Amino acid sequence: MGKYIIKVAIVFSLFSCSRNNNFNNSESDIYNKVDSLMSLMTLKEKIGQTIMYSGDWVTTGPTVSSNNIKLLKDGNLGAMLNVYSAKKTKELQKIAVEETRLGIPILFGYDIIHGFKTIFPINLGHAASWDMKDIQKSARIAADEASSAGLHWTFAPMLDIGRDPRWGRISEGAGEDVFLTNEIAKANVKGFQGDDLSKNNTILACAKHFVGYGAAQGGRDYHTVNMGQDELRNVYLPPFKAAVDAGVQTLMTAFNELNGVPATGNKFIFRDILRDEWGFKGFVVTDYTAINELVQHGFAENEKRATEIAIKAGVDMDMMSGANRFYLEALVNEGKVDADLVNDSCRRILFIKFKLGLFDDPYRYCDENREKEVTYKSEYLESARKSAAISSVLLKNDDNSLPLTKNQTIALIGPLVKDKENIIGNWAAAGDRNGKAISIYDGIKTYLGDAKILYAKGCNIKNDDKSGFQEAISLSRKADKIVLVMGEDYHMSGEAASRTNIKIPGIQTELIKTLKEEVPDKKIILILMNGRPLDLSEEDSLVDSILEIWFPGTIGGFGIADVLFGVYNPSGKLPITFPRNIGQVPIYYNVKNTGRPIPLENPNEDYKSNYIDSPNTPLYPFGHGLSYTTFEYSDISLSSNIIGESDILSISVNITNSGNYDGHEIVQLYIHDKVGSITRPVKELKGFSKIFIKKGENKTVNFQLTCKDFKFFNGKDFIFEPGEFEVAIAGSSDFSFMHSFELKL
Ligand code: GLC
């Protein structure tokens, strides 16, 4: 450390005489420091700051062999991913700081997508909680654990709007809705970055994947994306704008091409929109090897040309391609790339390293004592338990088959009952599969004890081995209720995990049918562990209750048991549509009306936009989720039926808890802009409020709207237009509008 302090002091003393010496962290002060440092750096060293290699501890993409330690020693590495722990990062940081010419610290980044060690529900699941405080808290906890393990940067939040359940990465985002995803973007950025990046428990967030990745053709990962300005500006870009407005410091390029131009070489999205329109000041990192992939895309003749395209498009840091390492210096020396582009990227990266406080103390994130103290804190595990509970969605509950009671014996059947490996889902960072995780069995046992649980695996997740069926049948005959824990394994969603069939895999459904036939007098409760919307049409006709638990995380077993036994009354609402069948996909709630919508009054009228073999409606719509109680909505009132540009429209509703359980309700506000200069969706979520009402009591919920809420991109600019709007407040997107108002300008 001593050598380091001398080195930095020399560097800054050479250049700080012209200004005050107190190292306050105002932006201009930091830029002065950055410029001082850059004036000492060679071109090669500046390029080094734009290079990121994997620590090869964890492979999250095609592993490219790289002698990154030599790069580190030569001062030609700006960041590493996939390496963590206070000890290991300190070892590597010491090389960067004490063995290189200028001692510039490196960044350590990692995919902390839904927790670092303490794993929370997958993001699609956590989105179902509609609980921004809880989502922000989970990011804060992840940042605390990760920063204690030497990490400065997470490649999250993933903000790709998803409308296609075939796409495996739908599990990582916040679902199909812009408004909900915008809110979750803000909650994550605040949770990860806190209010002061110089604190040693805050980390950089990274909004990804910019942009349009979720619209891959056929739901096939990495596939081509084509869309008009309407969808790009009104659906896929807004969550990234929300993250930028919330202060996100980095963005990551998407793998896909967008309208013929691969994102990683797309000047329009990175320079015109992100920098010029939005004023983003942070830095852009590519996705894993994405620069080189411009060659595969057919957008660059070779990797050297790809390197030139990427930096000119606005990319700052190269993750794993080796492109900047091998070609950027030559490109500058040949005059093909202006050195100022390298200077801009280097400056953005160094600015953030200063903001993190790494030049004040490069080892501030490498405290082994803090790592021990912070990791798996009991309050963090308790928080994850609550997140699991509030993220579950009660899709169906005929005859109030749930909640379970302690005096019942249950047949607990299915390949995911005792599972500890899949329960933390994909992208589970440093989560401990099999060790720390609490299975659904573990959770239920705390309520029932072993004696009242008749367990049988019944079948596997994927193969067609029926040898377990008979045991499942005989146990079910002895039980009061049948509880099934079924779904996907964690490899069946996430990156490079698209499916053409979105049914429950293997012969799990066949086991349900068999139990229904062999034990017809028993209620069947299906608990689903999965990373995407599934086609549950068949199961919906076979079972009495369905509880969607996603991959609920490290403490999932306890959290879900709390729901099953009514300690937590389920409140989750779907952030994404569950189709009746794959043929309906893409299917989402905020569609356009078309010129031939199916008339409600005559659904069988000919020549309408319908299928001849399926309804248009989904099995379970966006915003759907039941409770053990019932909530009645009444007395919806508007403060006015006409508003002007500067007016505020207040809408209120009375909600009564008319059932037998206290509970939370997620009250949703929707509008419909009936006529626009480009067509508008039939419904748009514009607000929500999660409230708690005791049984028998009621509450009034108020929302406010202004014309800013009606803005949309009309091909030229973001505008709102006069005319008639419909408005509704409901507990799901499955409603008919009953109220309207006029915007007069
Ligand atoms: C992967 C993913 C990206 C992740 C990165 C680093 O390919 O696309 O989301 O952050 O590589 O692991």
Concatenated DSSP letters of 584-611? G-S--SS----SSPPPTT-TT-SSSS--
534 CA to centre of ligand 1 in angstroms: 25
pLDDT for residue 4 is more than 70: no
Q: Mean of the per-residue pLDDT values for the chain? A: 95
Query: CB of 288 closer than 6 A to ligand 1?
Result: yes
Give long-range contacts, CB 8 A cutoff, 24+ apart: 469-476: 469/511, 469/514, 472/411, 472/413, 472/511, 472/514, 472/515, 473/514, 473/515, 473/518, 473/519, 475/411, 475/413, 476/411, 476/413, 476/515, 476/518, 476/519, 476/522
**Ligand 1 pocket: which of 108, 111, 320 to mutate (most atoms within 8 A of CB):** 111
Which residues, 6 or more positions from 433, have their beta carbon under 8 angstroms from its beta carbon? Answer: 420, 421, 424
Does 11 map to a domain? yes
Higher-scoring residue by pLDDT: 738, 58: 738
What pLDDT band is residue 199 in, cutting at 50, 70 and 90?
very high
The predicted pLDDT at position 62 comes to 58
At position 739, the amino acid (one-letter code) is H
Question: For residues 592 and 161, what is the distance between their CA atoms, to the nearest angstrom?
Answer: 17
User: Which pLDDT belongs to residue 635?
Assistant: 96
Whether residue 440 is predicted with pLDDT greater than 50 in this model: the reply is: yes
**pLDDT per position as a tens digit, 571-587:** 999 999 999 999 999 99
Q: Is 287 in the pocket of ligand 1 (CB under 6 A)?
A: yes
Q: What's the pLDDT band for 16 if we cut at 50, 70, 90?
A: very low
Is there a domain that residue 34 lies in? yes
The residue whose C-alpha atom lies closest to atom 10 belonging to ligand 1 is 155
Q: Determine the Cα–Cα distance for residues 481 and 524; give it in Å rounded to an integer.
A: 6
pLDDT of residue 3: 53
The answer on 652 and 572 residing in a single domain is: no
Domain assignment of residue 290, yes or no:
yes
**215/308 same-domain check:** yes
* Residues 669, 572 share a domain: no
| pLDDT at res. 18 | 35
- Answer yes or no: is the C-beta of 155 below 6 A from any ligand 1 atom: yes
650 and 688 within one domain: yes
| Atom of ligand 1 lying closest to residue 172 CA | 9
Task: Answer yes or no: is pLDDT of 1 > 60.
Answer: no
Q: Is the CB of 495 under 6 A from ligand 1?
A: yes
Region 500-528 average pLDDT: 98
CB of 208 within 6 A of ligand 1: the answer is yes
293 lines ligand 1 (CB under 6 A): no
State whether 311 and 425 are in the same domain. no
Confidence band for 171, pLDDT divided at 50, 70 and 90: very high
What is the mean predicted confidence (pLDDT) over 174-200? 98
Q: Is 160 in the pocket of ligand 1 (CB under 6 A)?
A: no
Per-residue pLDDT averaged across 421-432, rounded? 96
As a residue count, the chain comes to 745
Alpha-carbon Rg for the chain in angstroms: 27
Residue 50 inside a domain? The answer is yes
Q: Is there an atom of ligand 1 within 6 Å of 111 CB?
A: yes
Least confident window among 17-26, 72-81, 595-604? 17-26
For residue 498, pLDDT beyond 80: yes
Average pLDDT for 163-184:
98
Q: Are 339 and 403 members of one domain?
A: no
247: pLDDT confidence band, cut at 50, 70 and 90? very high
281 with 346, same domain: the answer is yes
For residue 155, the ligand 1 atom closest to its alpha carbon is 10
Q: Which atom of ligand 1 is nearest to the CA of 111?
A: 10
State the residue for tokens 């800054």: 12
Nearest ligand 1 atom, CA 61: 7
Residues 479 and 547 in one domain: yes
Q: Which of 107, 206, 287 to mutate to test the pocket of ligand 1 (most atoms within 8 A of CB)?
A: 287
> What integer is the mean pLDDT of 543-560?
98
Contact indicator for 25, 359 with CB cutoff of 8 Å: no
Q: Looking up tokens 């805050």, which residue turns up?
A: 202
pLDDT at 60: 62
CATH number of residue 548's parent domain: 3.40.50.1700
Expressed in angstroms and rounded, the spacing between residue 90 Cα and the centre of ligand 1 is 24
Predicted confidence (pLDDT) at residue 365 exceeds the cutoff of 50: yes
Residue 88 lies in a domain: yes
Residue numbers annotated as active site: 287
CA of 137 to the centre of ligand 1 (A): 23
Considering only CA atoms, which residue is closest to atom 12 of ligand 1? 60
Residues 560 and 636 in one domain: no
**Ligand 1 atom 11: the closest Cα is on which residue?**
288
Nearest CA to ligand 1 atom 8: 287
Identify the residue with better confidence: 5 or 731: 731
- Ligand 1 mutation target, pool 107, 159, 288, most atoms within 8 A of CB: 288
CATH number at residue 20: 3.20.20.300
Q: What distance in angstroms lies between residue 169's CA and the mean position of ligand 1's atoms?
A: 11
pLDDT for the residue numbered 14: 41
Using the 3D structure, point to which of 584, 601, 621 is the last residue of a domain: 584
Q: In whole angstroms, how far apart are CA 715 and each of 232, 244, 278, 662?
A: 10, 22, 17, 47
Q: At 26, is the pLDDT very low, low, confident or very high (cuts 50, 70, 90)?
A: confident
Tell me the angle at which helices 508-518 and 469-478 cross, rounded to the nearest 10 degrees: 40
**Are 348 and 391 part of one and the same domain?**
no
pLDDT at 182: 98
Residue 483 lies in a domain: yes
Residue 466 located in a structural domain: yes
Domain interval for residue 550: 383-584
Asked if 652 and 505 sit in the same domain, the reply is: no
Instruction: Convert the pLDDT of each residue in 455-494 to its tens digit.
Output: 999 999 999 999 999 999 999 999 999 999 999 999 999 9
Residues 324 and 412 in one domain: no
- How many domains in the chain? 3
Q: What is the pLDDT of residue 21?
A: 37
- For the segment 113-127, the average pLDDT, to the nearest whole number, is 98
> Rounded to the nearest whole angstrom, what is the distance from the C-alpha of residue 59 to the centroid of ligand 1?
10
What band does 147 get if pLDDT is binned at 50, 70 and 90? very high
Nearest ligand 1 atom to the CA of 209 is: 9
The CATH code of the domain that includes 643 is 2.60.40.10
> Per residue in 616-643, pLDDT tens?
999 999 999 999 999 999 999 999 999 9
Report the nearest atom of ligand 1 relative to the CA of 156.
10
Q: What percentage of residues in the chain have a pLDDT greater than 90?
A: 92
Q: How many angstroms does the Cα of residue 210 sit away from the middle of ligand 1?
A: 12
pLDDT attached to residue 68: 77
Nearest to 400 by CA among 525, 515, 532, 292: 525
Residue 17: pLDDT over 50: no
171 occurs within a structural domain: no
